[in-house]
């Protein structure tokens, strides 16, 4: 049986190095590409044949959210597993809707990671137990997050603003006009009942869509 071809997407060199070393020790798995941004992930997916992507979310540029959404449309044969530091908040549900088929926390062990890679390659989904529990709880009455009211695009713009990206940069990355981005910002302030971007960033951190170190 052919090796499962994997791409690692994370903006931290040390994390990619560690993942590569762990996966290279496993028979049946081959790391064929690495990328440190969503843009590079899209580019590498066009150049290399791969089966599975291990995708970080909070990265410069379009980030893992938008990269997952685009890749699921342009390369539906590639299975995307999201690696996240958070098991709470609206991101798991939204990323599954965007095309991800797996979810792991960055604290998972090698055995679980291998199991996830093998299962998604075989056409199944794999959701880490802690994340599956949070997904189930989020469906209960009164347990939804404030950010659950946002559309997928609104959530993406929220993340990018909270990462400190300017209007023109967001406009370029998401192929939106600057006016449209400004409209999204205003709508986000209204929906989330915040008066500025700093308050919005704190809300993003509180609800687990942004790491404090990435803001």
pLDDT tens digits in sequence order for the chain, 215 residues long: 789 999 999 999 999 999 999 998 899 999 999 999 999 999 999 999 999 999 999 898 999 999 999 999 999 999 999 998 766 678 888 899 999 999 998 889 999 999 999 999 999 999 998 888 877 766 655 556 678 888 889 988 998 999 899 999 999 999 999 999 999 999 999 999 999 999 999 988 888 787 766 65
What number of helices (H) and strands (E) belong to the chain? 10, 6
**Rounded to an integer, what distance in angstroms lies between the CA atom of residue 215 and that of residue 202?**
9
Q: Chain centroid to CA 13: how far?
A: 17
**Rounded to an integer, what distance in angstroms lies between the CA atom of residue 88 and that of residue 136?**
11
Which pTM value belongs to this model? 0.85
What is the structure's pLDDT at 12?
94
What is the structure's pLDDT at 89?
73
What is the structure's pLDDT at 154?
92
Domains and CATH numbers, the chain: 4-138 (3.40.50.2300), 146-214 (1.10.10.10)
What is the structure's pLDDT at 135?
77
Sheet of 79-84: strand order equals: 29-35, 4-9, 52-55, 79-84, 102-105, 126-127
Which CA distances in Å does 62 have to 45, 52, 157, 165? 15, 20, 10, 10
């Amino acid at each position: 049986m052919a090796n499962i071809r994997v791409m690692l997407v994370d903006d931290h060199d040390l994390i990619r190095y560690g993942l590569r070393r762990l996966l290279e020790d496993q028979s049946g798995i081959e790391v064929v590409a690495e990328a440190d941004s969503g843009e590079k992930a899209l580019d590498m997916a066009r150049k290399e044949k791969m089966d599975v992507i291990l995708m970080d979310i909070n990265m410069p540029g379009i980030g893992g959210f938008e990269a997952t959404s685009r890749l699921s449309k342009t390369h539906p044969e590639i299975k995307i597993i999201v690696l996240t530091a958070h098991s709470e908040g609206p991101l798991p549900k939204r990323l599954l809707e965007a095309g991800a088929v797996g979810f792991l926390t960055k604290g998972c062990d090698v055995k679980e990671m291998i199991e996830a890679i093998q299962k998604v390659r075989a056409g199944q989904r794999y959701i880490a137990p802690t994340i599956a529990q949070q997904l189930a709880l989020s469906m209960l009455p009164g347990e939804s997050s404030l950010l659950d009211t946002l559309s997928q695009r609104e959530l993406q713009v929220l993340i990018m603003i909270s990462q400190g990206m300017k209007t023109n940069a967001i406009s370029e990355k998401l192929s939106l006009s600057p006016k449209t981005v400004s409209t999204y910002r205003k709508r986000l302030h209204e929906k989330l009942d915040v008066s500025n971007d700093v308050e919005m960033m704190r809300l993003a951190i509180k609800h687990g869509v942004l790491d404090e170190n990435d803001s």
